[in-house]
Amino acid sequence: MSVNYNNVYDYCFSKAIIAKEKKVVIEFPARILGTKIATNIHIGAYTYIRGGEVRSLKKIGRFCSIAPNLRVGDGLHPTSYLSSHPFQYNGNDFSFASEYKEYIELSESFNPPLQKRAGTIGNDVWIGSNVTIMRGVNVGHGAVIGAGALVTKDVKPY
């Protein structure tokens, strides 16, 4: 039996978008369908993702079943600073505005650790559709996350 590797690639990575300069390691076989990946990540074998966006996650384990519209790693905004607006730690958002440039100088050396954390998803995890997992959250092996959930804290292994 011969294998057409173009068909295998299309089957495994249909409409997936991987951001430039990101290191994405995917163990074969896995299926990444209609998913935007904007982070350095390792995805385990036999995992499938059926659409969504992964912005901050170090690893997705093996044998994970991930339904459509997963969102992982949206930006966090500090609630204990002068403002929740990112001008305090990300001066690039409005760098086109001249009056904003004075804030850029103040913020260049400051980047809160909450923006840098990336979580993990363990092995054999089932995630329902329309789930949002916040940046830095870890999901333990065998965990089940129901459809429509907003996950703000670590999920223990099953």
Are both 138 and 107 inside the same structural domain?
Answer: no
One-character DSSP codes across 32-69: E-SEEE-S-EEE-TT-EE-SEEE-SEEEE-TT-EE-S-
69 shares its domain with 91: no
- Structural domain for 3, as ranges: 1-73+119-158
Q: What is the pTM assigned to this prediction?
A: 0.76
Residues 106 and 134 in one domain: no
pLDDT classification of 91: cutoffs 50, 70, 90 = low
Above 70 in pLDDT, residue 9? no
Q: Strand, helix or coil at 132?
A: strand
**DSSP-derived 3-state class of residue 24:** strand
Q: Catalytic amino acids?
A: 77
At 36, which CATH number?
A: 2.160.10.10
CA-nearest of 50, 41, 42, 40 to 16 is 50
Whether the per-residue pLDDT at 55 is higher than 60: the answer is: yes
Query: Are residues 64 and 22 located together in one domain of the fold?
Result: yes
